[in-house]
Amino acid sequence: MSSATAVRRLKLLTRTIGTGTRIGNMKHHVTIIGSGNWGSAIAKIVAENTKANPDVFHEEVKMWVFEEQYQLSPSHPRYDRSKHSGSQNLTSIINGLHENPKYLPGVALPANLFATPSLPDAVSEASILIFNVPHQFVSNICRQINGSCLPYARAISCIKGVDVSPDGISLFSDTIGRKLGIYCGALSGANIASEVAAEKFSETTIAYAPPEGPTEDFPEGLTPVPEELPAVDHALFKTLFHRPYFHVRVVSDVAGVSLGGALKNIVALAAGFVDGLEWGDNAKAAVMRVGLLEMRKFGKMFFAQSCKSATFTEESCGVADLITSCNGGRNHKCAMLSVRTGKSIETVEGEELNGQKLQGTITAREVNVYLRNKGLEDEFPLFTAVCRILNGEANVESLPQLIETD
């Protein structure tokens, strides 16, 4: 952390505690960073729960939106020619309609949810930050936030990816924590955004386990949450996220929860290839079995001190998310259509996702670079096969041979 950033954070902490302007009524402010389909669905849940728990949370929830121009369709039931004849800022449309028509159309958002295009404004009062952005934008977003967020803020990452470079691999929850000097947990589960937003029953897993003392990432320890605020613990996060239609289990295995959400996207691509070839359920089950083993092996190999095998086999973030993603997720869909149409998966992505990006293709390639540099590609034949197919180095029909092991 730069000295200038440290000074800004100290001033912010002093002003917050000294004047009581931010915590005088002893409630948590919550901000969502991101407004895609999953970000908007999570924002809906959170805003419902802040309103339902006024003794713990401020009712108003802010949602940071990457500002863009959007033209509301004349077929929209609330289209008004006098207001919507031209393109408008997406934030204005969201706040006016209480709907995100671009990324989560047809779903009513709570009136206490407010979209803002300003990252500093979105985070400046928030004691709880929820990150829900494509993982390739995390570092830049953290740079914009650094120095603006409260030093005692706590965060949850809903980002389904891992931060991979040729030299190392880390969780996005750890990346966020290091860059902002705050602790960040993780949320992941069998959660197709449109189904959650439609209030169809589902469940998720939240991992939260802040260190109790100094660590390598926090050599001076975490800035404590002021005693005037409700304790930030497993119970608070269950209160913030649990709904009758969205059940929550809170655990301490941040690595397992994060890796489950990231690596299952690679397996979902393989399942999509299989369905594109119309090989049937037996073939897809075989791919899923191998994929689950590789997910667990990856966690135990590279995060041995914290990752638990049971997280992959017993929690929603593991086997349940894998099942869902291999049957109905966007990675599966685009891989399947790529095989059926003969188009590249990048072309299908552009045609099907309304400007959003697949996480599976990015994760597959980044993980492969890491494994190749470690000389471990053969230890993960399914992960390796998916990357080779994506890169045009192998054809889809060879998948059974590529994943066969002695």
Of the candidates 341, 357, 354, 316, the residue with the CA atom closest to the CA atom of residue 396: 341
Tokens, residue 244: 């009758």
Residue 39 known to bind ligand: yes
Q: What is the rounded average pLDDT of the residues 174-202?
A: 96
Cβ–Cβ under 8 Å, residues 126 and 153: yes
Least confident range from 204-208, 235-239, 251-255, 328-332: namely 328-332
Res 163: pLDDT: 82
Q: Is 298 annotated as a binding residue?
A: no
- Structure confidence at residue 22 as a pLDDT band (50, 70, 90): very low
Residue 18 predicted with pLDDT over 80? no
The residue-averaged pLDDT of 362-381 equals: 94
Task: Report the pLDDT value the prediction gives residue 3, as an integer from 0 to 100.
Answer: 46
Which of 264, 284, 308, 333 is the catalytic position? 264
> Is 333 annotated to bind ligand?
no
Token pair listed for 395 = 């054809």
CA distance 292 to 162: 17
What pLDDT, on a 0 to 100 scale, did the predictor assign at position 367? 93
Q: What is the pLDDT of residues 295-336, one digit of tens each?
A: 999 999 999 988 999 999 999 999 999 999 999 889 999 999
Q: Is 331 annotated as a binding residue?
A: yes
Domain boundary assignment for the chain: 3-252, 261-402
Check the annotation: does 34 bind a ligand.
yes
Q: How many C-beta atoms surround the C-beta of residue 285 within 10 A?
A: 13
Tell me the per-residue pLDDT of 44-65, one tens digit each, with 9 for 90 and over. Answer: 999 999 999 999 999 999 999 9
Of 117, 111, 112, 120, the C-alpha closest to 57 is 112
User: 261-402: CATH homologous superfamily?
Assistant: N-(1-d-carboxylethyl)-l-norvaline Dehydrogenase; domain 2 (1.10.1040.10)
> What 3-state class would DSSP assign to 120?
helix
Q: How open is the CA angle 133-176-234, to the nearest 5 degrees?
A: 90
Alpha carbon of 106 to those of 64, 162, 197: distances in Å? Answer: 20, 31, 10
143 is in an annotated binding site: no
What is the C-alpha separation between 172 and 185, in angstroms, rounded? 9
62-114 confidence digits (pLDDT tens): 999 999 999 999 999 999 999 999 999 999 999 999 999 999 999 999 999 99
Mean pLDDT (the chain, rounded) = 92
Give me the CATH code for the 3-252 domain, please.
3.40.50.720
- 357 annotated as ligand-binding: yes
What average pLDDT does this structure show over 232-257? 97
Judge whether 264 counts as a catalytic residue: yes
* 244 alpha carbon, distance to own chain's centre: 21
Q: Look at residue 169 in the predicted model and tell me its pLDDT.
A: 86
Confidence bin at 25 (pLDDT 50/70/90):
low
User: What's the confidence (pLDDT) of residue 15?
Assistant: 41
pLDDT at 70 (0 to 100): 96
